[in-house]
Structures are given as structure tokens and as C-alpha cells.
Amino acid sequence: MQLSHAARSAESSAIRDLLRHADRPDVLSLAGGLPAAELFPVATISEVAGSVLARADGLQYGLSEGDLALREIVSDGDPENVLVTTGSQQALDLIGRVVLDPGDPVVVGDPCYVGARQVLLANRAELIGVGVDHDGLDVDELESHLAGGLRPKLVYVVANFDNPSGAVLAADRRARLAALADAHDFLIIEDDPYGALRYDGDPVAPIPGDRVLRLRSASKTLVPGLRVGWVSGPQFVIDAMVIAKQAVDLHTSTVSQAIVRELLLQPGWFDQHVAGLLPWYANQRDTLVAAIAAHLPAAEFHRPDGGMFVWCRLPGSDTASVLTDAVEAGVAFVPGSAFAVDRDLTDHLRLSFATVAAAQLPVAVARLAQVVQPG
């Protein structure tokens, strides 16, 4: 009895091991993308859950599309165009299932969010990495691939505060990307878990056009444990995803959906809640950035305007090779190689400012400095 080809070639990955690192109490973890638990709206969730759980019909089987009232709240008008997913990770899987045949090319940033890479590979995509700079995906490079004959079915971007690069895809690149999608008949996945977490500057409008599958999530602004995300996009893709979702898990937890619905239904509550997160995260970012400047003077990075991550280059380092020593020294991070598609990102690393308390961030970076620039 042999496992499937997909299972034999699956990477036992990254995020999984990271969550284990993050669990050790003696390790300050700059690795995980865990939002700060002290900001979770615990009291409000308990309150709305009381009414949700008091009704038996909220505990029954539900529709594969998701709770209609929730879809109405998060839609831009047409709830039929929205599918509720078990976190936006599931949206990526469902898109892979309904769009990709084995070997179909998919363009991703290089570096790329590890969860996207993992699920796209599980759906037998052929990944093509395109460079990322401070303005996001290098659309020139994409265009030259297209001119060279590449015909991707999907282009995946985290357009706001990319994981891991922290970059925001510039408005002109968004417009060009949309035009390329029209010209070359591909779909764009705009994964947007961090968009609301902007600490500086003005928001950039979403990628235009009607070829965008937009993924959103309750994980970063509300709580991750509920596993509630949603996706909107071209109707024929959403319709196929609903059928696929029925096969894979029938529907997302009705209790989780109802809690998110009730939170979003409270007038003004969500905006006020997010407004409360911003100064806290901004201070975290500033503290981490200052600690990097102080302890790792050779580090090259851009201060991100939002999100959770600082993407650093440490010229001459091999960040993966020092990870074990770093954990031993009481600090965890994600080495650049974990995000690499085709490029050599050995000398990069991703540092999260979301999880560790501000007072401990300089301690964490000082520990890291001891390991990457010993003596």
C-alpha cells in the first residue's frame, strides 16, 4: 500500500513546525504569523456567542455557500457572488481544485507565502516565481514571461502588506496586472488578510477588473481560531467552488460563521475594533524596526506600512543554517529559503512583530544578533 503521488511529494512544511516553535515558552517567536491574542475581542465574542448558541437552528447543517446574512454583509451587493470558506487558506485550495489541471502554470511572487505555495503545489500547479520589490510583484518581469509565451491560469498576489515581503502592490502595477489578465486570459488571486492593518499612508484601491478572486479573512482582524474567510469573484468560478466545497467539508462551522456575522452586524463595531488595533501594531512595528537598526546594523529592509512582517536581508548570512542555534538561544524566525520559489533567498529572513510583547522585541532581536553575527 503506497500513498498517492501527491502525498509522497508533499512538503512537510514550515508553518507546522513554526507553530511548534511558537509553543515553547522559553522561545520568543518572531516566526509565526499569529495575531496578538491580547487584542482579541473576547468579551464581545462571548456576548454575541450567547445569543448565537441559544438557538438550535444555528447548530444545524447549513448551506455550502455559507450563512446568507454573513454573505450579505461582506458582499459588494450580491451575496451569490460570495462563498464563505474555512479560513482563506481553504479558498486557495478550492480555487486550485476548480481552476487547475495538473501542470498548469501559476505565477507567484518570489518570495511567496508558504501556505499558498504548499496548497498550489498540492493542486499540482507548476509555480513560476516573479520577483518582488518594495512596490510588490515585478509586473515588468511578469510581462516579459508573458511575451516569452508563458500562459498562466492564475497569478497570486498578497497585494497589501505581502507575506513575507511587507510590500504593497503599487496602484499602477495593479492596473497593469488587470490589463495583462484581460490580454492573456488569466485570473488574479488577490489574497487580502492584512489590508485593514495599515499604520501609515493611504489605502490603495483593490485590483480592478472582473478577473479577480478576492480572498478575505477574519483571522487577522478578529480571531483566527474561528476559521472564517470569504471569497468573491467571477460567478462561474464561485459556483464551481461551492460545488467543490460541498464535497470537501459540506460547509464551514455554522457557529464560527454566526459569531463573525453577529460581530459585523453591530453598527460601527468592526471599524472601531480595527481602529483600536492600529496603534498597538504600529508600536510593535516601530519597536521591532528600532531593535533591528540597533542590533543588526547590516540588515537591509523596508519599514512596512502595515501588516505583521519585516522582511530582512542579512548579506552574507545563511539564515536557515542558524535557525537551530537561534531557537537554542531563545528566538525563532522564518528563514528566507522557506519562501523561495526559484530565487536564492538564503540571506533573507522574516520577522513578525505581531506576537511577542513590545518590551520583549529588543530582547528577541538581541538574541538573534548573537547568533547571526557572533563574537
CB of 269 to its own copies, least distance (A): 17
Is the Cβ of residue 153 or residue 295 nearer to its own copies in the bound state? 153
- Containing 95, the helix (H) or strand (E) segment is helix 87-99
Strand positions, DSSP E, 54-177: 82-85, 105-110, 126-133, 136-137, 154-157
Q: Which amino acid is at 217?
A: S
- Nearer of residues 117 and 295 to its own copies, judged by Cβ: 117
Q: In the complex, what is the shortest distance from the CB of residue 60 to its own copies, in angstroms, rounded to a whole number? A: 5
Q: For residue 56, what is the DSSP state?
A: G
Helix, strand, or coil (residue 9): helix
C-alpha grid cell for residue 197? 492593518
DSSP symbol at 269: H
Residue 242 phi/psi, 5-degree rounding, is -60, -45
- Quickly count: other Cβ atoms within 10 Å of residue 342's Cβ: 12
* Minimum CB distance to its own copies smaller for 54 or for 205: 54
* Cβ nearer to its own copies, comparing 256 with 287: 256
Reading the block at residue 193, the C-alpha cell is 488578510
**C-alpha distances in angstroms, 246 versus 123, 159, 165?**
18, 29, 34
**Cβ 341 to its own copies shortest distance, Å:** 16
CA distance 306 to 349: 18
Q: Of 9 and 321, which has the nearer Cβ to its own copies?
A: 9
Q: In the complex, what is the shortest distance from the CB of residue 279 to its own copies, in angstroms, rounded to a whole number?
A: 19
Nearest CA to 346 out of 367, 322, 327 is that of 322
Nearer to its own copies, 154 or 371 (CB): 154
CB of 31 to its own copies, least distance (A): 12
Nearest distance in Å: CB 245, its own copies: 10
> Which ranges of 100-132 would DSSP assign to H, the alpha helix?
114-122
